Amino acid sequence: MIKTPLCDLLGIEKPIFQGGMAWIADAGLASAVSNAGGLGIISAMNANADWLRGQICECKRQTDKPFGVNIMLQSPFADGVAKVVVEEKVPVVVTGAGNPAKYMKDWEAADIKVIPVVSSVALARLLQRVGACAVVAEGGESGGHIGDVSTIVLVPQVVDALKIPVIAAGGIADGRQVAAALMLGAVGVQVGTRFLVAKECSVSKEYKKRILKANDLSTIVTGRSMNGAVRCLKTPFSQRFLKAEREGAKPEELARMGAGSLRKAAVDGNYQDGSFMAGEVAGMVKKEQTAQEIVDDLMNGAEACLKGASRWLA
């Protein structure tokens, strides 16, 4: 059995985070992952405080295990949801798209473990200074909004730069990749794309179908020209977006074009107009499983891989 310092830090059985995917990571998925021994995450996305409170209460109804909330700091409702996690005694907050310094005093007073997502060493150092208890180092293989550095390069540099634990994210869907992340110095992994096909995931059937049909060349990156790179599946929408970008469309025009596209994919299953965000590892996701089966497969595969590593030693 694999147990790392992350398990002790957060009170979880297995060092697996479920990614906080907007329009996807709800109470049902989060509670299922937590019940499986990992850390389920509810995405606050751009929702208001009342919506998030309802999701937190539902998650508490479905699990007595630790879970977290992902807060996008650029959300217009960030101040409100920052208070809700304190009032509802959420044990873990994962932050993205900004610096959580303005909320840290209140979160620390509430004994909330704050774990920001980072895509560079410089940002990781900054967030360690403001009080993060760990960071998620997310490589450019990830789905959704991404940085420029790949996971295998980013993780060891962040590990070397920090004194706090590092969780690896980006390009992780089986036990071999979990084992690799641990060998890079991470104490756990964050997994998003594989959980898209969890039976407890409420994402549209079309989204799941497209993930299961994906191969190694099924994703592209759009938005680089507007400093908002996004990895998603190749679809009619993403191809149109990339074409407009290459032809010099202005950032505001591209922003209008992309508005609501994730919801169209995740909720409506609109293949023509939706943005089906997914990591490069989508090509390795081959079947729908329960969250428990996914977590167990990740951990069992990692354990088998690590036990077999000694065959390379003379």
Question: Any idea where the domains of the chain sit in the sequence?
Answer: 13-202+287-312, 219-277
Read off the pTM. 0.93
CATH 3.30.70.1350 fits 13-202+287-312, yes or no: no
Strand pairing report for 113-118 and 92-96: parallel
Residues near 142 by beta carbon (within 8 Å), at least 6 away in sequence? 151, 169, 170, 171, 192, 231, 279
CA distance 286 to 275: 20
For 205, the token pair is 């059937």
Nearest Cα to 167, choosing from 136, 191, 143? 136
CA distance 19 to 166: 15
CA angle 42, 201, 137 (to 5 degrees): 50
pLDDT tens, N- to C-terminus, the chain (314 residues): 899 999 999 999 999 999 999 999 999 999 999 999 999 999 998 889 999 999 999 999 999 999 999 999 988 899 999 999 999 999 999 998 888 989 999 999 999 999 999 999 999 999 999 999 999 999 999 999 888 899 999 999 999 999 999 999 999 999 999 999 999 999 999 999 999 999 999 999 999 999 999 999 999 999 888 878 899 999 999 999 999 999 888 888 888 888 889 999 999 999 999 999 999 999 999 999 999 999 999 999 999 999 988 888 87
